[in-house]
Amino acid sequence: MESNRSDKILQLMEQTGALLKGHFLLTSGLHSEFYMQCALLLRFPEHASYAGGLISDRVRVLDPDIIAAPAIGGLIIGHEVARSLGLPFIFCERESGKMVLRRFPVPEGKRVIVVEDVITTGGSVREVGELLQEKGCEWVGSACIVDRSGGNHVLPVQPVSLCKVDFPLYDPSECPLCDKGLELVKPGSRKFK
């Protein structure tokens, strides 16, 4: 059953053009031949609802009080998970390179799950989880549509994911795509210095 759901998510990613091939600069700073642009999947409300429902089924056991996400990638899927669970949703955003909670009251004392679209290193998820912990929340788990970390993430526990992919990642100094002279593209939301 789990494999069928994972296959369906990957099939939807391909159908919606969310699985891109080229030469990409990831948020982590690493390079890859593949990029998962979940916004192209989530632009269809029925797909967003489907993925959010699957994640909510898997994280319900963690008994969260609130769902949080890093902006921009986690906004739609985080909201769908919260909607499916009947919980409030908040998001953190970058200000001067650092995650901040600006638009919402601090959910002090609440059990929070941080939701993202794709986890490569888990850096943004960790920033949100740690920020909310510092503000008095209990960070009880993390979840994503796609885990492409290969287990090499910076999160304290394994995130819940709908599917796992293992695309090769390259340090920029050793990238074969750079060696071939392929144009480097940064399709995500975070800008680099």
pLDDT for the residue numbered 191: 47
Q: How far is CA 48 from CA 56, 74, 80, 151, in A?
A: 12, 11, 7, 25
SS in 3 state form for 101-161? CCCCCCCCCCEEEEEEEEECCCHHHHHHHHHHHHCCCEEEEEEEEEECCCCCCCCCCCCEE
Nearest to 113, CA basis, from 134, 94, 85 = 85
Q: Which domains does the chain have, with CATH numbers?
A: 2-167 (3.40.50.2020)
DSSP class of residue 29 equals S
pLDDT for the residue numbered 193: 40
Integer Cα distance of 158 and 169 in angstroms:
19
As averages over each run of 10 residues, the pLDDT of the chain (193 residues) reads 79 91 86 90 96 97 97 95 98 93 93 95 94 96 92 90 90 94 78 43
- Residue 77, sorted as left (phi over 0), alpha (psi -120 to 50) or beta, turns out to be alpha
pLDDT for the residue numbered 67: 98
Query: Which residue, chain included where needed, has tokens 């960070």?
Result: 139
Q: Give the pLDDT confidence of 57-75 residue by residue, as tens digits.
A: 999 999 999 999 999 889 9
Kind plus residue range of the DSSP H or E element containing 54: helix 45-59
Integer Cα distance of 182 and 193 in angstroms:
21
Helix (H, G, I), strand (E, B) or coil at 15: helix
pTM as predicted: 0.86
